[in-house]
Chains A and B, each alone.
Chain A
Amino acid sequence: MEAWIKALFFPGFFFLLITFLMVFYLERKVLASVHLRIGPFYVGKWGILQTTADVFKLFQKEFVIQRRANKLLYSLIPFVAFVMVSILLTFIPFSKNLYVVSTSFDLLIFLAIITSMPPIFFYAGWASKSKYSFIGGLRVVNQMISGEIPLWLSALSAAIFYGTLNHVSMVERSSFWSFIFLIPAFFIFMTAALIVTDRPPFDIPEAEQEVVYGFMTEFGGFNYAILSVAKLIEVFALFSLATVLFLGGFKGPFLPGVVWFLLKVAALYLFAFILRASTPRIRMDQLLGFCWKVLTPLALLNLVFVILLKMFLF
C-alpha cells in the first residue's frame, strides 16, 4: 500500500474517527454494564450508532464564541490539538507493515509531542476567558508536568532494554522475558498515562463537580467535538504505545497482527473504564504528592534496575 492511502484510510484519518466513535460507544456500554444498566440500545443494532448520532448533533450546532474570549486562539486551539494528536498515530505500527512512517527516533518524537500538549490545553482554558476554564487550564499544566517525568522515564527504560527507539524493531525484539522484566515499568507507564491524559481517577482538570468542565467549559458544538476527539485520541495513542513497548505489539499466535494489537489495546481500555467506575477522583495536592513522592522515585529506581539488567544479563 502506498503511504498516503495508509495515512488517509487504515491507520490514518478515517480509522481515527471510527476508533473514536467505537471507544466512546464502548465506554458508555461498559460503564452501563457495571452500573447494571443496558446503555445505548435503540440507535442501530445494540445502539452502535448512538455515538455517531451524538457527534453529528454536535457538528450541526451553532459556532458560539464568548464575548470576552480571544477569538483567534479560541477557534484555532481545537484544530491544533487535533492535528498534534493525529501526528502521534502515524508512528504506531499496527502490524508488521502497517504504519504510516517509521524512523529511528519514533519514541522520542512521540514523547516530545505528548509533552507539548499541556500548553495547548492551557491556552484553550486561557483563551476562553472564564474562571472555571482558567482554573482548569492551570490544573492541566500542574498535572501533566508532574505526570510526564514518570512517563518519560518508564518509556525510556523500555527503549534502553530493547536498545532502539524504533517501534517496529522494538516489537520484533520483544519476548516473554522482556515482558517479565518490564512489568514494573509497564505499571508506572500506565499510571502516568492515565495522569497525563487526565482519565479518571485523575480527571482533576475537568472535575465536573468542582470546576464545571475545566478548560472545556466554554467550548461547544464543533469545537467541543474536535477537542474531545483530540483528548480521546491522545488516550488511544498512549495505550497503543504501552502495547508496543510492553505487551509485544502485534505479536501473537493464529490471528493477524492487527487483531492482536487492537485486542491488547482493548484490554487496557477495559481496565481504564472499570477504573473509572470504581475509583473516586483524588485531590490535586494528593496527586502531586503521589507523583513526586512515589511515582518519580519508583520510575528512577526502575530505570536503574533496567540499566543493571542490561549491564549484567543481556
Chain B
Amino acid sequence: MNEVKELALLPFRVFQKVVKVSKSMFERKATEIWWDRGIKRDLHFRGKHVIKAELCIGCSLCARSCPVNCIEMVPTGVKKPRAVPKVRASECIFCGLCEDACPVKPQKAIQLTDNYSMLIEPGTWEKLNGYVFEPENLEAAIEKAKKMEELIEKKKQEALKKKQQQEKKDDGQ
C-alpha cells in the first residue's frame, strides 16, 4: 500500500521539480559565442615554442628533459652553439619541461608562448610530420657566430704570430 501511495504521489513531486528546473531558462547563459567575435578573455597558454638561436648555448638539456623525445638537436657547424633544438610539433605534448630545464638566464632560449593557433591544412601525414618549430634567426646567429669565430681565430693567429715573433726574438737573443 505504501508503495502505491509513493507511486501516486510521484507525478506531483515531479511537477514541483519541473517548475524548479524551468527557472533556469531565464538565467544568464554560460556559452560564449567566440567563433566570429574572437576570444576576449585574457589568455595564458602553453603554446607554440619560440627558440632563440642567438641565446642558445647548445647544452641539449631541453632535449634530455623532454618526456616524449620530440626535441632534436640540429648541428649548426659552428662551435657555439654547437647544436640548436628543433621541436617536432606533431609529437610535442606542450608540457613546458624544456623551458624549465633551459639554463640560460635571464631570458630562456626556448620558451612556450601564448600562440595557440596551429592549424595545418590539409592535415596529411607529410605536412604533419614536417611541422616543426625551428629556431628563429638561425642563419643570422650562425653568421654572427662564424664572424665571432673568425675574429677569435684572427686574434688567436695574431697572438700566435706575436708569440712566434717573441720566440724568434728570444731565439735571436
> Is B31 on the interface with A (CB-CB < 8 A)?
yes
Contact B7 A36 (CB under 8 A): no
Binds B, one of A133-141, A259-267, A275-283: A275-283
Contact B29 A33 (CB under 8 A): yes
Interface string of A259-295 (1 = CB under 8 A from B): 0000000000001001101110000001001100110
Q: Which residue of B lies closest to A201 (CB)?
A: B14
Interface of chain B residues 8 through 65 with chain A (CB within 8 A): 8, 10-11, 14, 17-18, 20-22, 24-25, 27-31, 33, 35
Closest CB in chain A relative to B34 CB, distance in Å: 12
Interface of chain A residues 176 through 192 with chain B (CB within 8 A): 187, 191
Q: Which residues of A contact B11 (CB under 8 A)?
A: 187, 191
* The one of B7, B8, B17, B31 that contacts A279, using a Cβ cutoff of 8 Å: B17
* The one of B7, B20, B21, B33 that contacts A294, using a Cβ cutoff of 8 Å: B7
Closest CB in chain A relative to B2 CB, distance in Å: 12
Contact B31 A290 (CB under 8 A): no
Q: Which residues of B contact A271 (CB under 8 A)?
A: 18
Closest CB in chain B relative to A101 CB, distance in Å: 35
Contact A293 B24 (CB under 8 A): no
> Is B3 on the interface with A (CB-CB < 8 A)?
yes
Question: Interface size class for chain B?
Answer: 20 to 34
> Is A23 on the interface with B (CB-CB < 8 A)?
no
Contact A290 B7 (CB under 8 A): yes
Q: Which residues of A contact B33 (CB under 8 A)?
A: 38, 41
Closest CB in chain A relative to B8 CB, distance in Å: 5
Give A36 to B28 CA distance when docked, in angstroms.
7
Contact B17 A294 (CB under 8 A): no
> Is B4 on the interface with A (CB-CB < 8 A)?
yes
Number of interface residues of A (CB under 8 A): 23
Interface string of A128-158 (1 = CB under 8 A from B): 0000000000000000000000000000000
Give A271 to B11 CA distance when docked, in angstroms.
13
Closest CB in chain B relative to A200 CB, distance in Å: 11
Contact A293 B27 (CB under 8 A): no
Closest CB in chain A relative to B4 CB, distance in Å: 5
> A36-B30, A37-B31, A38-B31 known; A278 and B17 CB under 8 Å?
yes
Closest CB in chain A relative to B5 CB, distance in Å: 9
Contact A36 B10 (CB under 8 A): no
Interface of chain B residues 78 through 115 with chain A (CB within 8 A): none
Closest CB in chain A relative to B35 CB, distance in Å: 8
Contact A33 B14 (CB under 8 A): no
Closest CB in chain A relative to B130 CB, distance in Å: 33
Closest CB in chain B relative to A177 CB, distance in Å: 24
Contact B4 A293 (CB under 8 A): yes
Q: Which residues of A contact B24 (CB under 8 A)?
A: 34, 36
Q: Which residues of B contact A298 (CB under 8 A)?
A: 8
Which 8 pairs from chain A and chain B are nearest by CB?
A278-B21, A38-B31, A36-B30, A294-B8, A274-B22, A33-B25, A294-B7, A290-B7
